[in-house]
Structure 1
């Protein structure tokens, strides 16, 4: 394995991050295999996260992005105008998309559940987006990304931080590394493949 190095995310990385998200996240359950719907949901997720974050780091191996961490530290936000416009565009697409509209609406229910958990609580920082390529897991990439983020939090006087996740992600990982489950939200998704029980979780971590 070659050397892994870390740097701040830039606009040219976004396509690679979208591909990672497509591969890792079970998007098909919302899209029924429709590629346009998949692109709309994935783009909405990513650009919403990009305009919320003010801290980013990616892990690169052999020229390929293999890990990503986005976070908000304190209250300042990213003001990248192109990302803001794309976030608005894809959020609107989700609401007016005619093909597989039901799948889009069910995804929006998950998004609303995330927001509900966050509104009910207050933290100095939020870990917004954290993803490591399946092929590189166990090599310390995720641990390094998280360690760098926590160091940045400490240097900015962060006392407590949070993250929201759901049953589509490896949420048990956060239990193992010392995060505390604060609350959860359970509901049923009505998908093309049939009804599915779904949960979202709010985790916290004290520094």
Structure 2
């Protein structure tokens, strides 16, 4: 059996992590053009990288099988994230052009992010940290990879005296994991989206966690 190694993220991991994001969160269900989807995945990952002060990936047999990115607000330095911020702008412009060219809507993605802002509105100052990305490949779930990644993140937060973090998730993910790990659901909103060309309902959640 291959040993699972935990280490910081590298640029060479980005493509593998985009695949994990796509499979874990099912973005391919909402964007039916592969070129538009490619830009969306890059925006998603770069948005998470633009916020992170902590990263850890799980690697098994030379393959990335899990990732966690998060932030301790006290450790965040804007200038060190400019490359990711510029990447977001570039890929956003590219996605807009591709959406028009291939007549592929990304309105559901924008709709979900609007709900994120609604759920956190007025609560931002309550938190001194955030979990921005957390996913494990299907074949490695149940092996303790997710718990180890989360433990590594919590240990980092404690070194920064971070006490109270939040995260967004939704009903397309294994959100029960957070319930089982002691997270508390602060809010929920339902949204109508198009999934695999069918009308569908997505439940979006805001969770928080207080470090002991």
- Is TM more than 0.5 here? yes
Give 1:147 shift: 0.5
Aligned in 2, Cα 1:77/1:30: closer, same or farther, shift over 3 Å? farther
CA contact (8 A) 2:192 2:202 kept: yes
Can you give the 5+ residue segments of structure 1 that lack an aligned partner in the other structure?
Answer: none
Q: Between Structure 1 and Structure 2, how many residues are aligned? A: 205
Q: 1:98-151 CA distances to partner (integer Å, 9 max, x unpaired)?
A: 12432x011111122123223332311100000011111111111110001111
**Alignment partners' CA distance in 1, 2:202 and 2:22:** 19
2:163 aligns with 159
1:135 aligns with 139
Q: 1:19-52 CA distances to partner (integer Å, 9 max, x unpaired)?
A: 22223221232112x2112112111111111111
**Alignment partners' CA distance in 1, 2:205 and 2:21:** 19
Superposition map of 1:1-207 within 5 A = 1-32=1-32, 34-75=33-74, 76-77=76-77, 79-96=80-97, 97-98=99-100, 99-102=102-105, 104-122=106-124, 123-190=127-194, 193-207=197-211
TM-score normalised per structure 1: 0.91
Q: 1:83-107 CA distances to partner (integer Å, 9 max, x unpaired)?
A: 22221122233444212432x0111
Q: Helix, strand or coil for the counterpart of 2:182?
A: coil
Q: Helix, strand or coil for the counterpart of 2:6?
A: strand
Can you give the 5+ residue segments of structure 2 that lack an aligned partner in the other structure?
Answer: none
Q: Helix, strand or coil for the counterpart of 1:13?
A: helix
TM-score normalised per structure 2: 0.89
Q: Helix, strand or coil for the counterpart of 2:30?
A: helix
- Note the aligned Cα RMSD (angstroms): 1.7
